[in-house]
Amino acid sequence: MMLLLASYAFTFPMADVFEVDASKSKIAWMGQNVAGGKHTGEIAISKGDLTMEDDQLVAAHFTADINAITVTDLTGDRATRLTDHLKSEDFFDAPKFPEATFKITKVSGSGNNLSITGDLTIKKITKSVTFPAAAHKSDNSVHATVKGIKIDRTQFDVKYRSENFFSGLGDRAISDEFELDIEIFATK
């Protein structure tokens, strides 16, 4: 029996880990009020990695720097005020919770047709989220994109002007969902 097993060659997929290039990668966000007004901005990715096996994304983990949140639809003092408000206790409480993280727990599909499930942690509250994505490997780099992830902020204790928690807000209410587009560039 030992001799028989020795004659078989076992091959295992090789895992390649790619480090996120924080200078090129970004998370774009969009939030809106119930009257239809909206704001847009970005959150910096501070670190992370993607793991590929045979050109297939199998794992990922990255960290977003809440202190580096920006507003892109406003300028000057208005942008500064909104940015400071998003960092305050009303929203993401950046002094107390400076990072948000995401870690993949399951991947199915391939290439442009991935389904990603993972643990999103904001304000030290972790919830599972699932969304479509695309990931492509070329030699020593990986490019991954996600469009239109909808996140219910109230699940992460971000309740400011939520109609589910405060009455009488009228058109001053803010939608419970915000949307994320993610673009990650990673290299070996």
- The dihedral over CA atoms of 16, 22, 23, 28, expressed in degrees to the nearest 10, equals 120
User: What number of other Cβ atoms are within 10 A of residue 124's Cβ?
Assistant: 12
Mean pLDDT confidence for 165-171:
76
Question: How do 177-187 and 141-152 pair as beta strands?
Answer: antiparallel
Quote the pLDDT of residue 167: 74
Any idea which residue has 């479509």 for tokens?
Answer: 132
Per the prediction, the chain carries an average pLDDT of 91
pTM (two decimals): 0.89
**Per-residue pLDDT tens digits for 64-113:** 999 999 999 999 999 999 999 999 999 999 999 999 999 999 999 988 99
Quote the pLDDT of residue 8: 53
Quote the pLDDT of residue 86: 96
Q: Give the model's confidence band at 174: pLDDT under 50 very low, under 70 low, under 90 confident, else very high.
A: confident
Residue 185 and residue 96: Cα distance in Å, rounded? 29
Q: Which domains does the chain have, with CATH numbers?
A: 13-187 (2.40.128.110)
pLDDT of 6 > 60? The answer is no
